Amino acid sequence: MLHANKRPAFKRTRGLIDRVGDPVLKAVTFIASAVAVAVLGVIAYELVTGSRLAFHSFGLGFLTSQVWDDVHGQFGALSLIFGTAVTAGLAILIATPLAIAIALFLTELAPKPVRALLGALVEMLAAIPSVILGLWGLLVMGPYVKDQLEPFLSATLGFLPFFQGAHYTVGVLSAVLVLTIMVVPIIASVTRELFATVPPELREGALALGATRWEMVRGVLLPAARPGILAAVALGFGRAVGEAMAVLMVMGGAIGIHASLFAFGDTLAARIAGQYAGADTNIQISSLVYLAAILLVISLAVNIGAQLLIRPIDFRPRRQRIALDRAMETQGMSAD
């Protein structure tokens, strides 16, 4: 403090920048975060505005009508909702046990050096662009589905209505298979991380009590990871519902509700991708935006649901919650 009065003049300006700098940083980063939150709201608003015409014309009956007639301007989403539910639902049904088995193999069974490599390979499957999977599904998998898989299913399970009818390279079955390939790595990599976070004491405790490895998995690992696995499945479902390109390329793009998996079909996302550029009447454009609004509602529900599964809402009284937040903050932990 002896030479405090001899401070060079430029230090004062630096002091000013420093004093202004912190609030500015806080403001700028806050605005950036506010933009990220606001984008969600703006997307919802634009979709609602864009679908107003179709909503006024068809109302909620849009959801229960099967017609999609661009000549007469009559539109309904039922067969698209059906196609979306069947493809995404079946893909999830096939993918979930596969993905959990892969995650178990990667965390419990695979020898250490193989784990990282196999894990990376599974994640690479998730990185393949959907248009490439669509191309592969159309030109490589499609002929196989038509000439091998569908005849086989007709021959063995043909008494069921799901496996009847003519065989094509594209259709519901092809879409299900491509979506399964997309969803498996997503669920597998999340599940694998969940398994890795289960405390080793729990595993070792079960093994020390004489449980076989599978009994340990069933009794300890799966119950401990259950909410997380459900969340991963929900995220995978959201991804399958929203996939447009690959489905557009391999599903046949037809309106109608059929029991057979061999039939052509279409989903909400694929219909938007296939028709939006060529739509020339306002009512058709608005109907397609209506489809997008339905997709947005589904994806919001699925994603928020998944988040709640991972981080349940805290129902304790507010004061107690804030105290807890503070306590955790001073410990250097985030409450989330």
Partner 1 sequence: MTEPAFSLRTSGRLRRRQLVNRLMGALALGAALLAVSVLAIVVISVASRGASALNLDFFTKNQAQGFNPTGGGIRFAIVGTGVIVGIATLMALPLGVMIAIFLSDLASPRLARVTRLALDVTNGIPTIVIGIFVYTIVVAAHGQSALAGSLALAIIMVPLIARSTEEVLLLIPTSQREASLALGVSRWRTTFGIVIPSAMGGILTGTTLAIARAAGETAPLLFLTSLGTSATADSNPLHPLQSMTYAIFNYSEQGDPGFQAKAWATAFTLMCFVLVTSLGAKLGMARYRKKMGG
Binders of partner 1 among residues 147 to 186 (CB under 8 A) are 181, 184-185
> Which of 77, 188, 232, 261 touches partner 1 by CB under 8 A?
188
Nearer Cβ to partner 1 (154/293) = 293
DSSP state, residue 138 = I
> Which of 102, 186, 187, 220 touches partner 1 by CB under 8 A?
102
φ, ψ for residue 69 (rounded to 5)? -125, 100
Question: Which residues, 250 to 269, sit near partner 1 by CB under 8 A?
Answer: 269
> Which of 16, 63, 93, 132 touches partner 1 by CB under 8 A?
132
Smallest separation (angstroms) from partner 1 to the CB of 213: 6
> Which of 230, 257, 276, 283 touches partner 1 by CB under 8 A?
276
Smallest separation (angstroms) from partner 1 to the CB of 164: 27
**Could you say whether residue 9 binds partner 1 (CB under 8 A)?**
no
- Residues 99/193, Cβ–Cβ less than 8 Å: no
**Could you say whether residue 98 binds partner 1 (CB under 8 A)?**
yes
**Could you say whether residue 196 binds partner 1 (CB under 8 A)?**
no
> Which of 22, 72, 113, 312 touches partner 1 by CB under 8 A?
22
Per-residue three-class SS string for 224-261: HHHHHHHHHHHHHHHHHHHCCHHHHHHCECCCCCCCCC
Question: Which residues, 205 to 244, sit near partner 1 by CB under 8 A?
Answer: 212-215, 217, 235, 238-239, 241-244
Q: Note the helical H segments in 51-77.
A: 52-58
**Could you say whether residue 47 binds partner 1 (CB under 8 A)?**
yes
**Could you say whether residue 120 binds partner 1 (CB under 8 A)?**
yes
- Residues 184/125, Cβ–Cβ less than 8 Å: yes
Contacting residues for 133 by C-beta, under 8 A, at least 6 apart: 178, 181, 182, 246
Contacting residues for 215 by C-beta, under 8 A, at least 6 apart: 206
**Could you say whether residue 280 binds partner 1 (CB under 8 A)?**
no
> Which of 16, 63, 93, 131 touches partner 1 by CB under 8 A?
131
**Could you say whether residue 1 binds partner 1 (CB under 8 A)?**
no
DSSP state, residue 128 = S
> Which of 57, 136, 219, 283 touches partner 1 by CB under 8 A?
136
CA distances to 187, 310, 325, 327 from 332, rounded to whole Å, are 31, 21, 11, 9
**Could you say whether residue 4 binds partner 1 (CB under 8 A)?**
no
* DSSP states of 84-101: HHHHHHHHHHHHHHHHHH
How far, in whole angstroms, is CA 310 from its chain's centroid?
15
Nearer Cβ to partner 1 (97/256) = 97
Nearer Cβ to partner 1 (238/260) = 238
**Could you say whether residue 55 binds partner 1 (CB under 8 A)?**
no
Smallest separation (angstroms) from partner 1 to the CB of 159: 28
Q: Hey, what amino acid is at 243?
A: E
Q: Hey, what amino acid is at 164?
A: Q
> Which of 66, 70, 89, 123 touches partner 1 by CB under 8 A?
123
Count of residues that bind partner 1 according to CB under 8 A: 97
How far, in whole angstroms, is CA 228 from its chain's centroid?
14
Nearer Cβ to partner 1 (218/226) = 218
Report how far residue 233's alpha carbon sits from residue 92's, in angstroms, rounded to the nearest whole number: 7
